Amino acid sequence: MRKMLIIPFLLTISFGAFTQSTVQRPRLIVGLVIDQMRWDYLYRYYDRYAPNGGFKRMLSQGFTCENTMIPYAPSVTACGLSCIYTGAVPAVSGITGNAWWDSELMRSVYCTEDKTVNTTGSASSRGQQSPRNMLVTSICDELRLATNFKSKVIGVAIKDRGGILAAGHSANAAYWYDISSGNWISSTYYMNELPKWVNDFNAKQLVTQYYQQGWNLLYPAGTYLQSTADAKEYEAKPFGNTFPYDLKQFIGKDYGKVSTTPMGNTMTAEFAKAALMGEQLGADNITDFLAISFSSPDYIGHSFGPNSIEAEDGFLRLDRELGTLLDFLDLKVGKGQSTVFLSADHGVAHIPEFSIENKLPGGRVMMGTLTTNLNKELSEKYKINPLIVSDDNYQLHLNHRAIDSAKLDEEEITEWLIKRLRNEPGIDRVFALEDLNETPLPASVRTALNNGYHPKRSGDIQLLFKPGYTESWSNTGTTHGLWNPYDAHIPLLWYGWGIQKGKTNREVLMTDIAPTLAALLKIQMPNGCTGRVIEEVLK
């Protein structure tokens, strides 16, 4: 009889031991990627950031990696988001740009395009998107795998690629903003109908409210001492000449203008909060993941440049948004129950005319005009136009079909182009990509180009611009995309559950973010990851 009583007791103990989890994890991981945030913004505006805002709080209470670099080129949004979340460089992930030339399709392919799916939540075609072009798993995928798909993963960004590439292949959902309707949408890759909470959010018509308010400076104009004077000729003017910007003219007509204002960040943060509540993220002991990309700093930076009052005001307001978001996480998930990291997909160059105005090196390479002229010259020589089919990602892609059909000498064409481009103002180096590893270059630059090269998605001839020179299509604004520190030096802040307080000045790489998250969560790193754990970050 005693043996019969002991057996159920032992079974109960064994079953309890089997079901009890001993792996400690936070309830929620929140990824914050600031589109086009140079590292120096952390300190350029430091004195004006709020004590309870996001940046000072994460710097003082969390861990900062002060020398975080992008280890590949081109440094653009799609590559950055995919690298942060997969730990894979473009050579492995296949995300070699926001778009790339497909020699089989004979057209440019957008990084997240997917013609097999349809828009969910709008009549537009802007939802024909998915992560299928990304060849590797993300840290979000690995979290889903580790919990047998019980973890919830949501990606949120104004830009489709910002939400999709971060969330990975197996995400519960990714959402982005449809500038044709003013609504947040998704695709049938994830769902056939929007959840009620998304429809409720869209019904608020926040963009109309933002346009009614307009864009006024947070502080008196004379206090923006870290910026140039307002209304420089080399700045774009999407709203008018000077502050305050009256946005009422766009109500019901242009839903896209909000992206180039700080209200784009506000809208993104509000949608992320709605996602957390609507999906009950962080509500139990199974770790969830909320991947948020703030796209508006990129739109503002491209238009007005990193030294503008618009950029400064945008980051001062974003700081407040981040502080409110951190408070919201403490309230809804529990204080100390979330792990948050903040980084950027890339930086940005100064507007060339700003540099020239201040006696600094800089200039523009009018890439579209240059490619058109090159094709005209090649047409006169070889009677075929175009022989250059794409200039995406600082590379020239040759028309191999036409070259093969006409039995032209590709090596001769390549050599002609290299010789011609060496004399082009603003271009520092030009060489055939097949000769990359024989071309005299600093080792770090060669590594960046190798890490950005994928044989099926990269071009034939590589262009490197002189420092301070930008790829341009007009005489206003600026851009990013190469190996230089202004493009490649990004912030990396860690905060919350499992994070050590402190900083490191040693070099770490963008590829190190995903494996550090994997170590924190005690899960496998993504399957294309080339990074290493930043051990100082973890308790």
Burial class (CB in 10 A: 0-12, 13-18, 19+), 243: middle
Residue 369 bears catalytic tag: no
Nearest of 112, 109, 108 to residue 390 by alpha carbon: 108
Q: Is 345 left (phi over 0), alpha (psi -120 to 50) or beta?
A: alpha
In terms of DSSP bridges, do strands 338-344 and 363-366 run parallel, antiparallel, or are they unpaired? unpaired
Distances (CA, A) of 346 to 224, 483, 532: 24, 10, 20
Q: How far apart are CA 128 and CA 113, in angstroms?
A: 6
Write the DSSP string, 409-431: -HHHHHHHHHHHHTTSTTEEEEE
Terminal alpha carbon distance of the chain? 50
Nearest of 190, 137, 73, 145 to residue 433 by alpha carbon: 73
Q: What is the dihedral of CA 268, 270, 273, 274, to 10 degrees?
A: -100
User: C-alpha 110: how far from its chain's center?
Assistant: 15
Angle CA(108)–CA(113)–CA(116) in degrees, nearest 5?
120
Q: Which distant-in-sequence residues (6+ apart) come within 8 Å of 497 by Cβ?
A: 26, 27, 336, 337, 338, 339
Residue 175 is classified by DSSP as: E
* Helix 296-304 and helix 263-278, axial crossing angle in degrees, nearest 10: 170
Alpha helices in 383-409, H assignment, sequence order: 400-405
CB atoms within 10 A of CB 415: 12
CB atoms within 10 A of CB 251: 16
- Asked if 264 contacts 158 with a C-beta cutoff of 8 angstroms, the reply is yes
Largest CA distance in the chain: 101
Q: How far apart are CA 379 and CA 416, in angstroms?
A: 13
Q: Which distant-in-sequence residues (6+ apart) come within 8 Å of 421 by Cβ?
A: 374, 427, 430, 461, 463
Handedness of CA 106, 108, 109, 113 (dihedral sign): negative
Q: Which of 77, 261, 470, 516 is catalytic?
A: 77
- Asked if 309 contacts 217 with a C-beta cutoff of 8 angstroms, the reply is yes
Instruction: Could you list the beta-strand ranges (E) of 239-345.
Output: 288-294, 338-344
Q: How far apart are CA 69 and CA 64, in angstroms?
A: 13
> Which tokens in the block code for residue 213?
């308010």
Active site residues: 77
